[in-house]
Amino acid sequence: MTDIAAIMKTAPVIPVLVVDNVAQARPLAEALVNGGLRVLEVTLRTPAALDVIRAMSEVDGAIVGAGTVTNSAELDQAIAAGSEFIVSPGLTESLGKAAITAGIPFLPGTANAGDIMRGLDLGLTHFKFFPATAAGGIPALKALAAPFGQIKFCPTGGISEATAPDWLAIEPVLCVGGSWIAPRGTSDYVGVAETARKAAGLTI
């Protein structure tokens, strides 16, 4: 899959995963995919992250990407580990150009008009709105999106099972990112699958 729009439309929620133990990677990915959430964002916040991406990429149906990518070196490492898409907390020209050159679907973070304009200059039209709640929530995103009719968003940061439907009701929002689906350290894979099932059933 080479189109970030198609990835964002795969399911209404992208689980944002912080995984410390690679042994958890495969059962966690299987639980999420079985629950209907195929797109998995593994954040590069732990030493095990790249190995987790490798392990999750072996699960049938999983579309595994790397999150918290902040520079071109991390981009290269994530791609080498098998990442099918890249998510960043922000946008720099160097990272954006590196992702475009690599030909990998890229979802950079933004919380202001300047970042969006910088992305547009690079030919990017899909962004993560981050940190969604702390950056002003739904009113802020609506105001930010208004001048940019062609832009689509994946809000991430502080979104919960209770608030996700409100975010998904906003026209430019294709999906949301959420850490509530699989909290850090969980081994309750049955519970994760059930939570994923509920999230996959949210309407966009």
Q: Which residue bears the tokens 């999906």?
A: 175
Say whether 41 is catalytic: yes
HEC letters along 28-66: HHHHHHHCCCCEEEEECCCCCHHHHHHHHCCCCCCEEEE
CB 62 within 8 A of CB 53: no
Strand pairing partners for 40? Answer: 64
- In this structure, what token pair is assigned to residue 80? 């080498």
CB 104 within 8 A of CB 81: no
Q: From the candidates 30, 74, 84, 128, which is the catalytic residue?
A: 128
Say whether 171 is catalytic: no
Q: From the candidates 30, 41, 74, 84, which is the catalytic residue?
A: 41
Active site residues: 41, 128
